[in-house]
Structure 1
Amino acid sequence: MPAEFDPSKVAIVFVLGGPGSGKGTQCARLVKEYGFVHLSAGDLLREEQSRPDSQYGSMIAEHIRDGKIVPMHVTISLLRNAIEANLKKYDNASRPGWGHGHGRFLIDGFPRKMDQAIEFEESVCSAQFVLFLHCTEEMMLKRLLHRGETSGRIDDNAESIKKRFRTFEETSMPVVDAFRKVGKVAEVDSMRDVDNVYAEIEKVMEAKLIQH
């Protein structure tokens, strides 16, 4: 069966990086300047978890609390639904890259395992490239503990953060490495200040984003 969405119309950019590498911050700027819709796999899961009639709510909560990866079919289903809903919502919009079945999506924090990447590209849509934000564990821990002071997120504490680091290193870095082998990774050093990181990302977008 072919993928549900045509990559010549629907531009997918996977945004990967360890927890606290700045994915959300940079995605917000790309949305503003390039007309992307930003889909955070984590946010979609948290929304689903808090939906009163969700069949997956308690299972998602348990996985997030333990720093584990939620089963693939749940995350992919939520992403597919969100892509479809946004393509309908902006079908007649004047934002860049949209209209008549075209759209642009940043998918943040996904795929987190190789089987997720394969399943998504085969059944949903092939990604144009992976934007990988590289940052040291020390810096990410500092950022997340600071965020945890105000975020209210149950996983913004030292114990959960360290579990998330291990999970990312063991399961997500092989995804980055696999995409790198086929020339589909753009790596940006996210240790620097937000503006410098974004300036580098802009260069990547100008070079790699297929204009529709």
Structure 2
Amino acid sequence: MPVPTSALPLSEPPLDCPLCPRLAGFRHVCQAEFPTWWNAPVPSFGDPEAWLGIIGLAPGKHGANRTGRPFTGDFAGPLLFETLDKYGLSDGKFNAKIDDGVKLKGAIIINAVKCLPPENKPTPGEVRTCRPFLEKAVGMLPKARVYIALGQIAHQSAVKALGGRLPKCKFGHMNEHRMPSGTILIDSYHCSRYNQNTGRLTREMFEAVFERALQMSETNRP
């Protein structure tokens, strides 16, 4: 399998990051069970000159934890990458493989939690422990004017990483928040299997978030 590379290599934790003992222990279990998988902190993927930052939750076991690229190999990936393609934010055809040749242009994907959590549920402490890596990544994106948070946990971490205050930034699909730096954060329900299958998030709802991000990028230029 090709080795994943980061769009922001100086923002990444080490591959054997020990900071969250539960996640490190689960990583070791996966390494033993699936030795050919990535099984390590998943690096940011996309354009380091991005105007749009997409903050995800954490790697999925059979998705990014397997392939090493965010939203690649799991149920959530096709909707996200098809939406990026529709709005001119990617080149190449997404084929759920790290070597499918897809490249992002003007956008970057960063997870709030870098390592696979059991049952896709990081603890508040794990989210907090991983936040410095998100903060470092955000600090390395000087052209980012708009961010999209996928789900409530990503929203909470993004608000804090961007210098905002949670009491003033309530999560809700299509909610918008102006951060102290002047950047805009737009909330979206996560494009998870559960949300798509239950109809909580439709393709039209998801695309509306990106349409709004494009509008805000034009009105939020320096």
TM-score computed with the length of structure 2 as normaliser: 0.36
The answer to which structure has the higher helix fraction is: 1
TM-score computed with the length of structure 1 as normaliser: 0.37
Higher relative contact order (CA closer than 8 Å, sequence separation 6+): 1
